[in-house]
Structure 1
Amino acid sequence: MRRRTRATAVAAALSVMLLTGSAMASASPAKPAVRPCTTGNVSFYFGGYSYGLGHRSFDLTLLAHDGITCSLSDTPLITLNSPPDQTDKIPVTVNGRGGTLVLRPDSPLHTTIAYSVPDAPENKAQVNGLQLAMPDGSSRATSFLFPGTTDIYKGGVYITSWTTGIGLGQEEQR
């Protein structure tokens, strides 16, 4: 009988320790989720304009405002606008793996927008605006690199996935 009482007491003590340990483990603070970016959280800049005989490209960089950390899909949320008299939509091909990137003031996001120039008037499309949408549904519109209308090949525009880091090509995917 004495052994049974002792074994019961040991088992009860162990179960109390296990319950206390699991309660303490679940009470540890969870890592806060990074909120989605809004247009009010970021500034964006153009740069890296490159041109050849038939190809053009430029970089678009997003930079979080001081003290802001937010998340964004690695697939750029960019649409293009054309003049009202152009009825055909401009095809946009967007690269991305479906990941999520974290944007911080010390780690901007970069994408490259590439297009071709038309080789004949019948192959011409016109672009006069670029719109950047954020995960919360807010958006910001600006010129397509230069003010006014830009002639591009009607095949459309290619946009790379966002990459993050101080220099182009330094990815930091989470």
Structure 2
Amino acid sequence: MKKLALLALVAGAALSAAPAAAVTAPPVPCGADIVSFYFGGFSQNLSLGTFDLTLLAHDGVACTLPDTPLVTVSGPGADIPVHVDGRGGTLVLRPDSPLHAQIAYHRPDLPENAVPVSTLRLAMPDKSFRGTYFGTPGAFDIQKDGVLVSAWRTGLGLGQGEGTS
């Protein structure tokens, strides 16, 4: 009987000394201060231009954002129409799982179809944003029907340079 009581006491002490399962905090809404913003993979010919926009969460961070990129594009005179693909879901961005979207635009065939573009802005779910030039520094002409942004996809994309805020 004493042996059983001693075994129960030892077993109880071992259970209470076992480390608790690691509890991770739920993802927070993504913000400009916890996400790195890269762009690259520029391609342009006479009629079509594209580049990638890649997001990477900082170490130790998991955050959420809609799969429909919150992108605005503008030029010296006004905002440019932006058409965004997406399924309406929510994604979790982690350091080991970057997301990227492709930005595509047409070059104008005639001067009257041109609109100058210079700035790209990416809004985050926490209402912060990151902004930079659109593809290259300065303004250049694109087709006035605007820009197409793909839904976020998992992977590195073709990111090269850190965006500016």
User: TM-score normalized by structure 2?
Assistant: 0.77
Q: Deviations over 1:26-59 (max 9, x none)?
A: xxx9975311100001111111112222001000
CA RMSD, 1 decimal: 2.0
Unaligned residue ranges in structure 2 (runs of 5+): 1-21, 159-165
Aligned length: 138
Percent same amino acid among aligned pairs?
58
Q: Which moved more, 1:157-166 or 1:57-66?
A: 157-166
Q: 1:140 is matched with which residue?
A: 130
| Deviating 4+ runs (over 6 angstroms) | none
User: TM-score normalized by structure 1?
Assistant: 0.73
Q: Counterpart of 1:56 in structure 2: which amino acid?
A: G
The answer as to whether partners of 2:122 and 2:130 remain within 8 angstroms in 1 is yes
Task: Answer 1 or 2: higher relative contact order, Cα 8 Å, separation at least 6.
Answer: 2
Question: Quick one: which of 85, 90, 108 aligns to 1:100?
Answer: 90
Unaligned residue ranges in structure 1 (runs of 5+): 1-28, 169-174
CA distance in 2, matches of 1:91, 1:126: 12
Partner SS, residue 114 of structure 1: strand
The answer as to whether partners of 1:144 and 1:150 remain within 8 angstroms in 2 is no
CA distance in 2, matches of 1:30, 1:94: 36
Matches within 5 A, 1:51-130: 51-83=44-76, 86-87=77-78, 89-130=79-120
User: What is the Cα deviation at residue 166 of structure 1?
Assistant: 4.7
Q: Counterpart of 2:50 in structure 1: which amino acid?
A: S
CA distance in 2, matches of 1:120, 1:59: 26
Which protein has the bigger helix share? Answer: 1
User: What is the Cα deviation at residue 106 of structure 1?
Assistant: 1.0
Q: Counterpart of 2:56 in structure 1: which amino acid?
A: L
Q: Is the aligned partner of 1:43 residue 2:36?
A: yes
The answer as to whether partners of 2:35 and 2:58 remain within 8 angstroms in 1 is yes
Which protein has the bigger strand share? Answer: 2
